Amino acid sequence: MKILQRLKRAVVTVEPHIPTSESEVESPEAPTEATLTCTKGYGKTIQQTFYESQSQWIDDPITSQWRDPNHRVHQVLSKVNDLYHAWSSAQTNPFGPSANMFSLKIGRLLAAVGLPWHNNQINMLNEIDTSWPFHFKSFEMGIICAKEARVGDPDALGYVSNVSGANCYCIRALQQELREKHPTRRPILVYDHFDTKVLKSVEAFFGLELHHISLSNGRGDLIRHLRNVTADGTRPIIFTATLGNANGEDDDMEMICDISDALPLFLHVDATRSFDYITTLPKRDRRQLGIQELILGMKALDQSLRSRDG
């Protein structure tokens, strides 16, 4: 009932321009105009943004069809607009593993008419490319901020990406941080169970040297070995850890913290498969299971990874 009441606040009238002359019908340059009337509540609608972007359209076989006022894209956009407003007014549900039905329905409608299934721009949340109106940056911001708040930093920036892209981006960011603050110290990337396919890309893209270790070895042996590999700590470590790889293996975070007590180290964690589970566990359950709390943040290179409370 609440959603219906909110939807009544917006009255949308779409009037596609009907060609009045034969030359106008034949011309590929003929504009397709639309007028929109909106009451207060929602501002711009999906249809309005669509029509306003016509000046930037490329006349390929697909987009040229959209200039036809009878093309079904106009009906589909109206349905998408209704879904958009319903989605905007819906209450945020607790985390669940199932896909959001609103987004699936929107995707099917867009795909059926020939529009891309999803294009959210590979930009930060505040970097909006106005040439493509069909993005979901506001929803992406809500997702990112909600997840970041669980790890202690609701103001961090990021964007939704695939797993390999996200890993490469974050590792690159650590490399850039080291280059800026320690330009003479060449880092080495150390790993145990991390996805080797991603690391091969990192090696090729960023020129990072890879070094595999086994965290199951004793603390003393590991630190002595890494002192040799890093020239007694003059080469900082970028440690890439996983909290659940494709084989069900994870890295010993306690041992990685021990290494950070003795050697300069930045940590990158891939928690793709376990993030929501770990970050929504009650503190009591986490302690009983021996699962450490994740805290997102930057630290000095020589600072331990351990928080003050352990």
Statement to judge: residues 180 and 96 lie in one domain:
no
Does residue 304 belong to any structural domain of this protein? Answer: no
State the residue range of the domain holding 269.
163-289
What tens digit of pLDDT does each residue of 217-274 get?
A: 999 999 999 999 999 999 999 999 999 998 999 999 999 999 999 999 999 999 999 9
What is the average per-residue pLDDT within 162-179?
A: 92
Give the predicted TM-score (pTM) of the model. 0.61
Does residue 261 belong to any structural domain of this protein? Answer: yes
Does residue 52 belong to any structural domain of this protein? Answer: yes
CA atoms within 13 A on the CB side of 50: 23
Strand (E) or helix (H) holding 117: none
Does residue 102 belong to any structural domain of this protein? Answer: yes
Q: Residue 73: is its pLDDT beyond 80?
A: yes
Percentage of the chain exceeding pLDDT 90: 38
Strand (E) or helix (H) holding 78: helix 73-89
- Whole-number pLDDT of residue 172: 94
**Distance in angstroms (rounded) separating the CA atoms of residues 26 and 22:** 6
CATH number assigned to the domain comprising residue 227:
3.40.640.10
| Of residues 56 and 282, more confidently modeled | 282
Total structural domains in the chain? 2
